[in-house]
Amino acid sequence: MKNLVVLTGAGMSAESGIQTFRDADGLWEGYDVMEVASPQGWYKNRELVLDFYNQRRKQLFAVKPNKAHLLLAQLQGKFHIDIITQNVDDLHERSGSKNVLHLHGELLKVRSTTNENLIYSWTGDLKTGDKCETGSQLRPHIVWFGEAVPMLDKAIELTKKADILVVIGTSMQVYPAASLIHYIKDNIPIYFIDPKPSINQNNFSNITIYAEKASDGVEKLVQNLNNELMC
Ligand code: OAD
């Protein structure tokens, strides 16, 4: 089976009702990113940060995977699929995708502020006073701006093995995630699905762009891949 590597961003979950970050109605319109998604923000106003992620976690229980998540999960069995997601939701997993690597952390996990290896599942609100087993305050398990991306090496390793790369719903503005595309083998097919695609044929010769919502784009992708499998 060919290795299909999928890099997803906030646009993947938009049709599930989760706001993106940088669109006109995106989350960063209503919040200062450095206030809620940086270590500086955490030290300045912990309650604001906790509240921000508590709201996001709560919302997760009110949304469902969309058609694009489900179609991707159904491709398993025809391809070996690795999903590298910048999203902190669990919608890929809930749609049945097995190999999901979260580059920017997970909403349903928290971790110790003094030992990044002490990670716990968490479904409710996180509050001041919630502590790890060694007595330190817990924080959201999110990679904030200015922090290292612990899963990056694994993501690079997967990207290098891709026979086909699919990129869905990302503005490609946040590094190092956006740099992953440069690790692919020469001339493998790339599919880019986004209503406002941020890269074009000038950037990559072997790229197919579906300038559409994730559900429509992934439907076309699946048709295309199925046709190739039949050839
Ligand atoms: P952005 O908000 O930067 O980009 C969202 C992308 O989704 C844009 O290119 C939109 O055109 C596209 N989009 C909108 N609706 C869509 C739909 N229905 N179907 C497909 N695409 C759609 O989000 P990301 O690129 O994911 O990091 O942002 C990267 C990182 O920046 C996030 O992981 C987050 C943020 O700060 C952290 O919080 C650590």
- What tens digit of pLDDT does each residue of 142-170 get? 999 999 999 999 999 999 999 999 999 99
Within 6 Å (CB) of ligand 1, which residues are found? 9-11, 14-15, 20-23, 26, 37, 86, 104, 142-143, 169-171, 173-174, 194-196, 198, 213-214
Could you say which residues of the chain have pLDDT below 50?
Answer: none
pTM exceeding the 0.95 threshold for the entire prediction: yes
3-state secondary structure of 99: coil
pLDDT at 202: 81
pLDDT at 33: 94
Beta-carbon contacts of 162 under 8 Å, excluding residues fewer than 6 positions away, are 3, 4, 5, 82, 184, 185, 188
Determine the distance separating the centroid of ligand 1 and the alpha carbon of 135, expressed in angstroms: 36
Q: Report the C-alpha gap between 121 and 142 in whole angstroms.
A: 13
On average, the pLDDT of the chain sits at 96
**Ligand 1 nearest-atom number relative to CA 198:** 9
pLDDT at 204: 86
pLDDT at 53: 98
Rounded to whole angstroms, what are the CA distances from 104 to 126, 152, 182, 204? 18, 9, 19, 26
Determine the distance separating the centroid of ligand 1 and the alpha carbon of 133, expressed in angstroms: 35
- Among 20, 84, 168, say which to mutate for ligand 1: greatest number of ligand atoms within 8 Å of CB: 20
